[in-house]
Amino acid sequence: MGSEEGKKAFRTDEGVELMVILMKEKKMARTRSIKVLDFAMSAEGEGAETCALFVDALGLKTLFPAFMGKGGKKEAALTTEDTEHILGILSSLFSSLESDSAPRVRLLTKFVADDYEKVDRLLELREAAENRVSRWRGVEGVDLDADELFLGKLENGLATLQLADYVLAWICMEDDGIRDHAKMLLSRKGKEFADVITVLEEYAANIEGEEGTEGATKRAIIGNLMNYLDGC
C-alpha cells in the first residue's frame, strides 16, 4: 500500500481520532501518536484532508497543551523528538488548511489567545533550537564534508529551528498583532526577521523537487513568506 493510500485508510478507519485520544495518554503512546500524526498530515492531497479532519476531531485542543510543554497524564515535559513532530504538525496545518476556512481560523486563534502565550512558546523553542545548532557548530569535526555537516546540523537542532521559523513566518503574515509581538520578542534577544529569513533560505535551498511537485510548491510558499518578512 502506497503512502497516499495508507493515509486515506488511516482517515477512513478513524485513525486520526484514535491518535488524538492517545496524545492525552502516557509518554510512549503520546510520543508515537504525535509521530504518526506528523507523518499522516504531511504532504499534499491526502495529507491536506487529514489536516482538516484533525481540527474537526478537536486535535488542536490536545495538541496545544503538549506544545506548551504541559505533557500528558502523569508525564513530564516533551522530548526534543516530540517537539519536532509537533512543529511538523503545525507546519502541515498552515501549509494545507484553506485560507479563511473555519479550521484555519481556529488554528490562528490559538496563537492570538491568552496574550500571545503560544507565540512566546514558539520563540522559546526557536531560541533553544538555535542554541543547539550553535553549540554543535562549535564542536563539529573539521573532516566532515558538506553533506555530513548539514545532516549533523539537522540532527542537532536545525530541523526544529526551520520548522519553528516556518510556523513563525506564517502566523506573522496572517496576523499583525502576532507580527508585532514576535518582532518585539526577537529584538529582546538581539534578533530580527532577517535572522528568520536566513533560516528559511537554507530550508528552501535543501528542499528537492522539480516544477509541479510538492517540493517546488513548498519552496514557493517559503519564498512568499520570506518576501513578506523582508518587507517588515
- Of 21, 108, 31, 113, nearest in space to 71 by CA: 31
Helices (H) and strands (E) in the chain — how many of each? 12, 0
Q: 51 with 221: CB under 8 angstroms?
A: no
First-to-last CA distance in the chain?
Answer: 46
The pLDDT, as a whole number, for residue 12 is: 73
CA-to-CA separations, 128 to 124, 133, 146, in angstroms, rounded:
6, 9, 24
The pLDDT, as a whole number, for residue 2 is: 47
* C-alpha dihedral sign at 206, 212, 214, 220: positive
C-alpha cell at 142: 573539521
- pTM over 0.85? The answer is yes
Sequential pLDDT tens for the chain (232 residues): 346 666 677 777 678 999 999 988 767 888 899 999 999 898 666 678 889 999 999 999 999 999 998 754 444 567 888 999 999 999 999 999 999 999 999 999 999 999 999 999 999 999 999 999 988 776 655 566 777 778 888 888 999 999 999 999 999 999 999 999 999 999 999 999 999 999 999 999 999 888 778 889 999 999 999 999 999 9
CA torsion 201→203→206→207, rounded to 10°? -110
CA-to-CA separations, 80 to 86, 138, 160, 164, 224, in angstroms, rounded:
10, 20, 9, 13, 29
